C-alpha cells in the first residue's frame, strides 16, 4: 500500500474513534500521530490532505461546501509548510 494511503488509514481509525467516543485518549493519539508525522517529514498541509481523505472515507456524502472549505484550509497551510521545511533545514544544519 502506498505511504499516503497508510497514513490516511491510520488517521481515519483515530478520527473515527474520537468522533464516536470523544474521549481524551483519542486526542492524545492525535498528538502522537502528528509527532510521528513530523519525524517522517510530513508537512502541515499534508496533514490537512490526510484529514480530507479520511473524512471522505468516513462520510462519502460529505457536503460539497465542507469539501471546498477544506481545500481552502489546505491552501492556507502551504505557507506554514514552507516555513516548516525551512525550520527542518535549519535544525539539520545545527546537527
The dihedral through the CA atoms of 47, 63, 59, 27 has a sign that is: positive
Q: Is 10 in the site for its own copies (CB under 8 A)?
A: no
Task: Spell out the residues 6+ positions from residue 8 whose beta carbon is closer than 8 angstroms to its own.
Answer: 50, 53, 54, 57
One character per residue 17-46, x = contact with its own copies (rule: CB under 8 A): -xx--x---xx--xx-xxx-xx-----x--
Cα–Cα distance measured from residue 5 to residue 19, given in angstroms and rounded to the nearest whole number: 20
CB 17 to its own copies: min, Å: 10
Out of 3, 72, 92, 95, name the contact with its own copies by CB under 8 A.
Answer: 72
The dihedral through the CA atoms of 84, 50, 31, 70 has a sign that is: positive
**Contacting residues toward its own copies, per CB under 8 A:** 14-15, 18-19, 22, 26-27, 30-31, 33-35, 37-38, 44, 47-48, 51, 55, 58-59, 63, 65-66, 68-69, 71-73, 75-80, 83-84, 86-87, 90-91
Amino acid at each position: 500500500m502506498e505511504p499516503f494511503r497508510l497514513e490516511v488509514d491510520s488517521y481515519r481509525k483515530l478520527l473515527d474513534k474520537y468522533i464516536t467516543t470523544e474521549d481524551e485518549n483519542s486526542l492524545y493519539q492525535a498528538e502522537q500521530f502528528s509527532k510521528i508525522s513530523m519525524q517522517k517529514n510530513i508537512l502541515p498541509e499534508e496533514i490537512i490532505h490526510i484529514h480530507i481523505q479520511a473524512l471522505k472515507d468516513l462520510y462519502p456524502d460529505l457536503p460539497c461546501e465542507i469539501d471546498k472549505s477544506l481545500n481552502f484550509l489546505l491552501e492556507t497551510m502551504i505557507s506554514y509548510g514552507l516555513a516548516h521545511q525551512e525550520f527542518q533545514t535549519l535544525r539539520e544544519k545545527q546537527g
